Amino acid sequence: MAALDTLLSGLAQERSTGALRVGRAGTVFLDEGRVTYMECAHTPGVERILAARGRMPEAALRRFQSDGGSERLLAEGPVTLGELQFCVLGAVLDAAFFLLPSSGTRPKFRPGERHWLGGCWFFDVRGLVRECARRRAHLARTWPSADVDAAPVRPVPRLAGQGVTLSRVQWEVVTHADHELTPLELARRLGRSGYSVLLAVRELAAAGLLVPTPPGEDRPALPKRSRQAARAKSGPGDGPGSAARADSGPGPGPGAGLIGPAVTADPADLELLMRLKKALEELS
């Protein structure tokens, strides 16, 4: 069976328009051979991301899905083109990370089917594959074991040192972990990208801040490993006992997601956003 990226490359050459459904795992939408959107069952889509940021309730977004699409959303909603485009970029990169390695399911192509956001932005298949490879390499450098990717997130009850500094994503992971949810389940609850939560979990593991998974414990099935990186570090504190500090700052406000100048749907702008996202991950 051909790999998903090979199938997408063939559809691109044929300038196909429609939806390539990868079983229950997700869907890839194309417009004249160009990828316009990806949905993945394991990662939050644009609707969940915007709702989690407090931009619009998911119920309101569903009304735009059935009437007017992205044009009406941009005309009547509080979301700008640049913000929506940045959310689409994050959602597509996240979905691609989990969909492109998919195997064992024969995808089905439905000609003419489109995503409700329309064909306002386009993604190059080779560029998506390169970005997925970069992210997998980053995860491996951070923590080489994939066991924590599928196991329930269990923060340690006590710190080994006197203090710890957490990034915003790591703080959200620790405060929402209930010892039952896996990283991807946490990502959906938080409205965060699956990759960013996986990366935060691996960084917490590298810092010794997660309880090791007991040998032989059943783990839920997870596709192969998964925008925004976080760095965890521990060190001596100034007083007795254990203390925790979160360098999280205030939560996302009405302007969350507005990074840089407004962008258009030109592919060059998407390349710029991808470089910006990569730089932000490396600086975090």
- Domain limits, the chain: 4-123, 141-246
Q: Is 187:43 a contact under the CB 8 Å cutoff?
A: yes
Residue 258 main-chain phi, psi, to 5 deg: -90, 95
Nearest alpha carbon to residue 37 among 106, 107, 89, 108: 89
Encoded tokens for 244:
């925790």
Segment 73-88, tens digit of pLDDT? 888 878 888 888 888 9
Q: Is 134:278 a contact under the CB 8 Å cutoff?
A: yes
Q: Is the pLDDT of residue 270 over 90?
A: no
pLDDT value of residue 68 = 82
pLDDT value of residue 152 = 94
The number of CA neighbours under 13 Å toward the Cβ of 114 is 16
The pLDDT-based confidence of 258 (bands split at 50, 70, 90) is very low
Distance CA 167, CA 201 (A): 11
Segment 175-186, tens digit of pLDDT? 999 999 999 999
Distance CA 45, CA 66 (A): 16
Coil/strand/helix, residue 28: strand
